[in-house]
Structure 1
């Protein structure tokens, strides 16, 4: 039976920056203490009083130094993940941006690389790999770890 206690969700945004060849930009995590060595798209937590689109645009500037117009953000997927007691990961695809992707957080990331969806890196955080599979199959909602 479910608890009657209200649950507070942690919200994450994930940027699927996609080039003209259909490849997605990933960073390799380093020095974070969590999944170091794994590739992951630019991502981050929602901050107070921030929409998911605002959060995605902020993370794009903070992590890879690119500017994204709100109208260029396309919803791709939402995943309810059981980690940390439950979090919601929003995945957005962006095909148009300004600037050259650059590693703006070398203390958390030691490489940026483009990968085709059918040739993803071996080392990835599992929920992200699963979400990309759902996106490829056209599924807009998934559960992970429940």
Structure 2
């Protein structure tokens, strides 16, 4: 977390909220674990500007259209109380 955002979180302050098994194509699969940070230290900044255009806050009802597919599936799974797991892009 610190490497990308400059904040630190005690592992005891993380709550697992959703898991996504994402199929990108015939050769690439990912499993994403999504955590809610209950407390953290520091102020978030974009520490990897060569990999990320910006670090921006959005309300849950106004998420941008260009979110990467599997993080979007994880966010929506959590926000819509879809249960603990989403299988994304599987036939």
Normalised by the shorter chain, which TM-score bucket?
0.7 to 0.9
**Greater radius of gyration (CA):** 1
How much is the aligned-residue C-alpha RMSD, in angstroms?
1.3
TM-score, structure 1 length as denominator? 0.55
Matching of residue 143 in structure 1 with residue 87 in structure 2: yes
Count of matched residue positions in the alignment of Structure 1 and Structure 2: 87
TM-score, structure 2 length as denominator? 0.85
The 5 Å alignment of 1:43-62 reads 60-62=1-3
Residue aligning to 1:69 = 10
The 5 Å alignment of 1:111-122 reads 111-122=54-65
5+ long unaligned stretches in structure 1: 1-59
Contact 2:32-2:71 at 8 Å conserved across structures = no
Of the three residues 85, 99, 124, the one matched with 2:28 is: 85
- Greater relative contact order, per chain length (Cα 8 Å cut-off, separation 6+): 2
5+ long unaligned stretches in structure 2: none
Matching of residue 95 in structure 1 with residue 38 in structure 2: yes
Identify, as 1 or 2, the structure richer in strand: 1
